[in-house]
Amino acid sequence: MSTEDTRRYYEVLELPPDAPFAEVRKKYLYLNAFYMGDSMELAALNGDAPYHRRQGILAELQDAYDRLKDILGREEPVQQPLQSPDVTVRESMRDYLDGIAAFSGPILKEIREKMGIDLGSMAIATKVQKRYLEEIEAEQFTWIPAEVYLRGYVIEYARHLSLDHQKVAEDYMKRYRKFRSSSEEKK
Amino acid sequence: MYHTDKSCEIWAVAGGKGGTGKSFITSSIATQLALKGRRLVIIDADFGGANLHSFFGISRPKHSLSEFFEERIPLSQIIVHSGISNMGLITGALGSLDSESISYTQKQKLFRQIRSLEADYILIDLGAGSHINTLDTFLLADKMIVVTVPEVTAIENLYQFIKSVYFRKLKFFLGSFGLKDMLQDAWKNKAAYGIRNFANLLDHVKKSSPDVHVAFEKEMSTFVVYIILNQVRKSTDILVGENLKSVCLKLLGLTAVYAGYADYDEEVQKYINRKEPFMIHCRLSPVIREIEDITEHIMSGKTAIFSARSYEHGRY
């Protein structure tokens, strides 16, 4: 990859070209959440940031982050601080979590039950309706209003369990897209 | 219409919405520059609602801009003392002046005389809205500064203002290439060109010819807007400036610098209502430090660093 490309990826993430990987990751997560969310700033743009443009920006961010991760991220992965302090991941739990290759609805449910967290309290903490959390676990995708919302909910879910929410969202959305493309074929 | 002769540096402050604290920020930054020993003139160009003098405790200014427009008195002769050493003040036209009636020649003359004032810095406080006089004065500046507050309506107006400025700049730029009608044509036939938003329009301009593309990139590389966030009440508000910077870049392809923020402070409000310059009398307010930082960032052109720590405490 040329340095020109690298510079461009840093630009996409709005960082100086000497930012360390920890900074890259932080900024990526931040911007990703910003363009996925429903903030006041985006609401103020009066339709200048419609769904498809935001999807474009998100794809660009993802690409820039992935490329920079390839270049810079070979060192130790950055330890994210626990998002919910009431959940402590014990050692045995860590082994169990490390053994998971790809996250899915049923696996998320299993993890949650192992941690002894009920959906009611999770709904309160994440501000995601319990019904949606149940449907995420059951992988019932028929209710989904838009992909960004589902992704947002899955991230909230994973954060509450102190999981690597980026990885969870990636795995989960892959399954969702597979589901959607196969259901479109049936039509 | 823009001179490149840089005897002094011009900073213009605008922002779209009224009541966001443009005059407060302008007067405070000016005071900070004066305290640092810089010579400056501060101009109240809010033709509709001039009140910058109140921030310096002046009730009935001896001279005002109306003398420049109506009686052709040179700008340098209508400067009044601000009460703070190193700082002269040109107060806005109080009352009757019809800002619509300012002619192109008058504007030219005003800009020329602003440039030749004896000072290190000239600060221009512009009114709310996106009137053409406001846009043109804003574009005249070496440092273009916008003030907003973390509220949806203020951000809405700010974004609109930035787009208007950018559009006006684009018009001047294309005019210099003899392509004055391009924007009008693009707008009229927007369906045919597939132009749905500002970014599409910029692409359309860049595609017109390689020469235009190169010149456009060069011109825009120096086009920077400094964002100041005023009346911050909680720590998550701080990131609004950072988000606006990102939006400018991603949606408009425009470089913005987040110059910093000022807290909402009851104390400051008291001094303003008493018509006392708070920068001089209210040294214990945290806002003092924040104004110092903002001024420093605009002088150096460097963006404020809120990154690492504030993201973790941010909303996301």
Average of pLDDT values for A32-57?
A: 88
Residue B72, domain member (yes or no): yes
Q: Is the confidence at residue B163, as pLDDT, over 60?
A: yes
Q: Report phi then psi at B6, rounded to 5.
A: -110, 80
Per-residue pLDDT for B123 more than 60? yes
Among the listed residues B84, B94, B91, the one whose alpha carbon sits nearest the alpha carbon of residue B40: B84
From CA B255, how far away is CA B179, in angstroms rounded?
Answer: 24
- Quick one: pLDDT at residue A87? 44
- Whole-number pLDDT of residue B261: 95
Least confident of A52-61, B101-110, B209-218, B254-263: B101-110
Domain match, A121 and A180 both? yes
- What percentage of chain B exceeds 70 in pLDDT? 91
A77 in contact with B at a CB cutoff of 8 Å?
A: no
Which residues does residue B146 pair with via DSSP β-bridges, in sequence order?
B14, B227
What CATH number does the domain containing A29 carry?
1.10.287
Residues of B in contact with A53 (CB under 8 A): 197, 251
* Residue B94 and residue B180 in one domain: no
What is the pLDDT, as a whole number, of residue B181? 86
When pLDDT is cut at 50, 70 and 90, the band that residue B309 belongs to is: very low
Higher pLDDT, B100 or B31: B31
Q: What is the CATH number of the domain that holds B100?
A: 3.40.50.300
CA distance B15 to B205: 26
Please list every residue in chain B whose beta carbon sits closer than 8 Å to the beta carbon of residue A34. Answer: 243, 246, 316
Coil/strand/helix, residue A20: coil
Looking at the predicted structure, is the pLDDT value of residue B224 above 60?
yes
Instruction: Write the pLDDT tens digit of every residue in B234-265.
Output: 888 999 999 999 999 999 989 999 999 999 99
Assign B303 a pLDDT band (cuts: 50, 70, 90). Answer: low
Check: complex ipTM more than 0.85: no
Residues 6+ apart with CB under 8 A from A127: A156
- Asked if pLDDT for residue B35 goes beyond 70, the answer is yes
Residue B288 predicted with pLDDT over 80: yes
Q: Which residue of B has its CA nearest to A49?
A: B251
Q: Mark which residues 79-118 of A lie under 8 Å from B by CB.
A: 81
Copy the structure tokens of residue A65. Answer: 């982050």
Residue A64 pLDDT > 50: yes
State whether A123 and A159 are in the same domain.
yes
Please give the residue that has the higher pLDDT: either B96 or B59.
Answer: B59
For residue B102, give every residue at least 6 positions away whose Cβ sits within 8 Å of its Cβ, in sequence order, or none: B47, B69, B133
Tell me the chain A residues in contact with residue B249 when contact means C-beta distances shorter than 8 Å.
14
User: How many CA atoms within 13 Å lie on the side-chain side of A161?
Assistant: 30
Same domain, B57 and B201: no
Range of B127's domain?
A: 22-142
Mean predicted confidence (pLDDT) in A151-156 = 90
pLDDT above 60 for B50? yes
CA distance A156 to A169: 10
- Note whether B245 contacts A14, CB cutoff 8 Å: yes
For the packed helices B210-221 and B152-175, what is the interaxial angle rounded to 10 degrees? Answer: 130
Q: Is the CB of A53 inside 8 Å of chain B's CB atoms?
A: yes
Q: Which CATH number goes with the domain that contains A173?
A: 1.10.260.40
d(CA B265, CA B268): 5
Ordered DSSP codes for A53-67 = HHHHHHHHHHHHHHH
Least confident of A62-76, B7-21, B268-282: A62-76
Which has more pLDDT, A61 or A120?
A61
Nearest by Cα to A34 from B48, B249, B31? B249
pLDDT-based confidence at B209, cuts 50/70/90? confident
Q: Are residues A103 and A48 in the same domain?
A: no
Same domain, A98 and A182: yes
Span B174-201, average pLDDT: 85
A14 interaction partners in chain B (CB closer than 8 Å): 245-246, 249
Average pLDDT, chain B: 87
Does the beta-carbon distance from B152 to A37 stay under 8 Å?
Answer: no
Per CB-CB distance under 8 Å, the chain B contacts of A27 are: 307, 311
pLDDT at A88 over 80: no
Interchain pair A44, B150: CB under 8 A: no
Task: Work out how many domains chain A is built from and give that number.
Answer: 2
pLDDT of residue B75: 94
pLDDT at A173 > cutoff 50? yes
Residue A77 lies in a domain: no
Q: How far apart are CA B218 and CA B64, in angstroms?
A: 38
Selected residue of B20, B155, B166, B250 to mutate for chain A interface (largest A Cβ count, 10 A)? B250
Across the interface, which of B245, B250, B314 has its CB nearest the CB of A30? B314
Whether B180 has a pLDDT exceeding 90, the answer reads: no
The pTM of this model reads 0.73
Percent of chain A with pLDDT over 70: 87
B12, part of any domain: no
Host domain of residue A109: 91-186
Q: What is the pLDDT of residue A77?
A: 52
Size of interface A-B (CB pairs under 8 A): 58
Classify residue B72 as left (phi > 0), alpha (psi -120 to 50) or beta: left
pLDDT at A82 > cutoff 80: no
Buried b (16+ CB within 10 A) or exposed e, B245-279: bbbbebbbebebbbbbbbbbbeebeebbeeebbbb
Domain match, B292 and B190 both: yes
Q: Report the pLDDT averaged over residues B5-28.
A: 88
